[in-house]
């Protein structure tokens, strides 16, 4: 089985639920807190290439709402990546990476369908 990596922010409630689910299922994973550890631009660019920036950019959170109108305007791939690297809390979470597979977000049903346990 490929290495399972879980990316997000430690104190996020959704992250806590995802981690509890993985633990309960006995899934070994590495947790990467991108607020503390950062996130390489090449990693984020690879995610964007796989799932699209529209999936990864969280427009519902307070970080997005605090941006100026100019910062939120005229989004494209490059601008979205720049914003997410500057404000990691703006990346939807969790991001679960298993080899070449990437899953964004969490629900028990969603994780239950994955081939990870």
Report the catalytic residues: 12
**117 located within any domain:** no
Q: What is the pLDDT along the chain (117 residues), one digit of tens a residue?
A: 568 999 999 999 999 999 999 999 999 999 999 989 999 999 999 999 999 999 999 999 999 999 999 999 999 999 999 999 999 999 999 999 998 889 999 999 999 888 775
- What does DSSP say about strands 101-104 and 4-8: parallel, antiparallel, or unpaired? unpaired
**Sign of the CA dihedral with 70 first, then 75, 76, and 79 last:** positive
pTM: predicted TM-score of the whole model, two decimal places: 0.90
- Gap between the Cα atoms of 87 and 91, Å rounded: 8
In a domain, 29, yes or no: yes
Count structural domains, the chain.
1
What whole-number distance in Å separates Cα of residue 84 and Cα of residue 44?
A: 8
CATH code (residue 23): 3.40.30.10
The answer to whether the peptide bond before residue 94 is cis (omega within 30 degrees of 0) is: yes
Strands 30-33 and 95-98, by their bridges, are unpaired
């Amino acid at each position: 089985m490929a290495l399972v990596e879980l990316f997000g922010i430690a104190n996020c409630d959704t992250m806590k639920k995802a981690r509890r689910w993985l633990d309960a299922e006995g899934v070994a994973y590495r947790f990467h807190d991108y607020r503390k550890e950062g996130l390489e631009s090449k990693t984020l660019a690879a995610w964007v290439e796989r799932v699209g920036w529209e999936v990864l950019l969280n427009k519902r959170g307070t970080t997005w709402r605090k941006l100026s109108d100019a910062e939120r305007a005229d989004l494209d791939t490059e601008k979205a990546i720049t914003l997410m690297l500057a404000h990691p809390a703006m990346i939807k979470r969790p991001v679960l990476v298993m080899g070449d597979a990437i899953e964004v977000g969490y629900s028990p049903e969603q994780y239950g369908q994955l081939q990870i346990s």
